[in-house]
């Protein structure tokens, strides 16, 4: 009889009916679903991080290109008064009889202008009679316009404007009609 009791105890300790097997299978599926969900979350994090890094690389590359384009801006800005002086000297020397001296100044001026143009410097073209645009011109003063047709138009250019690439680095200084 003690053997029968031992067998019954074993049967009670490890009952393996259909409900228990189903519960174990559901737990295994839920663990698998949890792991799959965690894997998907980690994949999503990785993809987002990768995309963010690609955007960072693109942005820094673009900034580097912009820096190279305008790296010489400070040097060119400091040379603009020299260009102005050459223009004034040429204008004054053209009034004298010293043609050889005039040629020398002209050659040096052209060499400097060509060098700066190779670096991307360009003159902002402005002439008397053009419409005044505050985005492109700097109005120094206003004078009475001789006719209604010249109101709001550029009367005179006091100082040339320059741009480096597409960016205006010095606005042309103009007199407008009122």
Express as a percent the part of the chain with pLDDT over 70: 87
Is the pLDDT at 7 greater than 70, yes or no?
Answer: no
Give the tens place of pLDDT for each residue, 72-87: 888 899 999 999 999 9
Q: Can you tell me whether residue 157 is helix, strand or coil?
A: strand
Q: What whole-number distance in Å separates Cα of residue 73 and Cα of residue 107?
A: 24
What pLDDT digit, counting tens, does each position of 115-143 carry? Answer: 999 988 999 999 888 888 888 999 998 89
Q: How far is CA 142 from CA 139, 145, 153, 155, 174, in A?
A: 8, 9, 10, 9, 9
State the chain's mean pLDDT as an integer. 85
Poorest-pLDDT segment among 98-102, 109-113, 116-120:
98-102
| pLDDT higher than threshold 90 for residue 55 | yes
Q: What is the reported pTM?
A: 0.60
**Residue 53 pLDDT level (bands cut at 50, 70, 90):** very high
């Amino acid at each position: 009889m003690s053997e029968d009791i031992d067998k019954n105890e074993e049967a009670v300790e490890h009952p393996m009916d259909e409900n228990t097997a189903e519960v174990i299978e559901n737990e295994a599926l839920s663990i698998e679903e949890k792991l799959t969900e965690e894997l998907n979350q980690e994949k999503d994090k990785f993809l987002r991080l990768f995309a963010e890094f690609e955007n960072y690389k693109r942005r820094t590359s673009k900034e580097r290109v912009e820096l190279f384009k305008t790296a010489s801006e400070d040097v060119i800005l400091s040379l603009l008064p020299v260009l102005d002086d050459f223009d004034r000297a040429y204008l004054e020397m053209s009034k004298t009889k010293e043609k050889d001296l005039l040629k020398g100044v002209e050659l040096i001026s052209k060499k400097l202008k060509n060098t700066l143009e190779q670096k991307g410097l360009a003159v902002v073209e402005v002439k008397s009679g053009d419409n005044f645009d505050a985005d492109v011109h700097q109005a120094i003063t206003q004078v009475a316009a001789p006719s209604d047709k010249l109101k709001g138009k550029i009367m005179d250019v006091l100082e040339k404007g320059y741009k480096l690439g597409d960016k205006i680095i010095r606005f042309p200084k103009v007199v407008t009609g009122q």
